[in-house]
Amino acid sequence: MKVLNLDLRKIINAAQGLFGAWALQIILGISVRNPLTVVFLVLVYWAASLGNVGSQDSHNNNNCSSVGKEISLHTGLISTAISLATALAMTIYSYDRVTGGFNSALFRYLSLAISFIGFACLINAISNIFCALLSKDRAVIFANSNTIFTVKEDLPPYKGIKAFLVMSLVCFLCWMPYFLYEFPGIMTADSLVQYEQIIGVEPYSNHHPVVHTLLIKLFYQIGYGVSGDPEIGIACYTLFQMIFMALCCGNLIMHLGGKRKQLRALLFYGIVPFNAVFAVTSWKDIIFAGVAMLLFCLVCDMRADLQAEGKQATGGQIIDKQTTDKYAGTDIHNPTAYQWLILVLLGILFALLRSNAWIAFILWTPFLLFAFRKDIVRALISVAAVIISVVIIKGPVFTLYQVNSPDLVESLSVPAQQLARMLVDDAVLDEEDLALIQTAIDTTYIRDLYAADFADNIKELIRAGHPEEIQNNKSKYLRLWMKEVKSNPELALEAWYDLEGGYIYPGVQTKVADMDGIMDNAYGLYWYPKIGGKAVVKYKEIALKMGDFVPLYGMLFSIGAFFWLLVISTVISLRRKEPVLCKILLLLLTLTLLIAAPVVDFRYGYAMVVTMPLWVVYGGRKKVVE
């Protein structure tokens, strides 16, 4: 039960911070994913906590025994007598703005209640600041205010195979209702393209990684072979994916250095709804994320083996004293041959399951070799094995088995969008360049087809024209693009940001995990929910909509928020001289998305999301024992 020993004061203050930030977000009309909501929450939490600082200090310093009473008296008089009435008046005054964005009466009333509570919390926080400023002990109060951000020293982590299996089972059981509701699993347009290859309607293509297509086919054939029912075949793969991801989550949780961290990660994997939705969706991005989790955990283990005794870092992970003690007094050795073999296998899968991951892995290899320079021979052999294997698979093997590779147009999302934006906005283009563009595509309907945040329309327009012109004259079209970007830098930057900005800016609104069942198709695949009813439908709807409604929680639905958390975590680790090997790979993955992604899609960055509990920095302060 020690792990559940909670600080009630901090919980109350955190609730005030949340509701205060929530009210400000609603009144200002900003998104819950706007970075300002985090700033508001921290400031209100800090201000709300000032009322506790004096009473906390009085336990340690008898000369300050009057501080807590004084703050409590002022806070009580001001907050109780004035804040409720003022909050009510402000809520009524802001009625139209507060309720204007909702059609549902339930959400309108809920929004009003949140605004009222939030205004009361804001007024209480402001009164705390004024009372602290007016107090004769204000120097003590503000000097000690930093104690509100300290955290308790974590407890020793759960260990062993039993704990690993329990963690994995909890994740699996949390996802099971989604599987029953979405039975036999969620299949979108991309999934159906792969299904066409599985049943032989279309030839194999690596546009969607053929390794993933064959994996689906393996379990589909098992289920179909036993039952003769294609839905059972799909369900068989979905169950495999759920089990695989649950085991990956359990493995990552076991790499965290304390019970509280482990339980937080378990809640994240089990309760946050997009994890459950993705676990039952037939996408390459989900299996890829699981492979990334295994790869990062392995790298952490291998890096730990290389640390001198007593060091407190692994490959991008902050390690607690308990994990440090694990290696204290033991023989520090290079990673084993078995670990290098597993790294080769995971590296091959990592590079094959996403085309941008292959590029990121190649860019990552110098960092990997530097990190394992003490075992450079086996590191070089392993990296070479990954690269040679992937080159052979993507080359001779695909050719032998007639697996089609993605066309050149697929990698031209950003250049195509930039040139299309210039045409749509009537930018002045060189006549020779315009003629060259019109040689490849028909620009008649480009205004109707252009979508600033979605590149596939323009790519399909190119495919409908003469893509062979670009294929056969790459250098000519490259010079054209570079010339026009130089001539129209603002339009080029705007086009890039409109297409890719969501990967680096949290405030960009995107849909996350909002799909259901199997998309309409001509192959007799249907959605057969095993559980249903309004309660089930509403639960899923509300669980996902909360990501658009609740501050801070909404940040979990923003790939841009995870990116900046990763950047901050990397900077902190560098300042502490801790290894950042895994973080560098994630940053390189994000870089490839910024260069070539056809749309901002949460699933494209899902590997960064699910590995977050491993790489995130748990605050910049030194932990203390309370």
Higher per-residue confidence, 426 vs 101: 426
Does the structure show a pLDDT above 70 at 76?
no
**184: DSSP letter:** T
| Mean pLDDT estimate for the chain | 85
Place of tokens 């049943």: 199
Structure-token pair, residue 489: 């830098």
Model pLDDT, residue 623:
42
Q: What is the DSSP string of 17-44?
A: HHHHHHHHHHHHT--TTSHHHHHHHHHH
Contacts of residue 472, Cβ cutoff 8 Å, sequence gap at least 6: none
Model pLDDT, residue 206:
96
Structure-token pair, residue 314: 């692994």
Structure-token pair, residue 35: 């970075």
**62: DSSP letter:** G
Task: Find out whether 417 and 495 touch, Cβ atoms under 8 Å.
Answer: yes
Top-confidence range, 115-124, 322-331, 475-484: 475-484
- Give the residue extent of every domain in the chain: 2-149
Model pLDDT, residue 239:
98
Q: What is the dihedral of CA 84, 86, 89, 93, to 10 degrees?
A: -130
SS3 readout for 524-552: CCCCCCCCCCHHHHHHHHHHHHHHHCCCC
Identify the CA nearest to 154 among candidates 332, 8, 342, 324. 324
Residue range 382-394, pLDDT digits in tens: 999 999 999 999 9
CA distance 138 to 33: 35
Calculate mean pLDDT across residues 294-302. 94
Task: Find out whether 312 and 319 touch, Cβ atoms under 8 Å.
Answer: yes
Is 76 in a helix, a strand, or coil? helix
pLDDT-derived band at 219 (thresholds 50, 70, 90) equals very high
Long-range contacts of 250-253, Cβ-Cβ distance < 8 Å, separation of 24 or more: 250/164, 250/165, 250/167, 250/168, 250/169, 250/171, 251/164, 251/168, 251/293, 251/294, 251/297, 252/293, 252/296, 252/297, 252/610, 252/611, 252/613, 252/614, 253/164, 253/167, 253/613
In Å, how far are 79, 135, 252, 261 from 614, measured between CA atoms?
41, 43, 7, 9
In Å, how far are 23, 35, 160 from 157, measured between CA atoms?
38, 32, 10
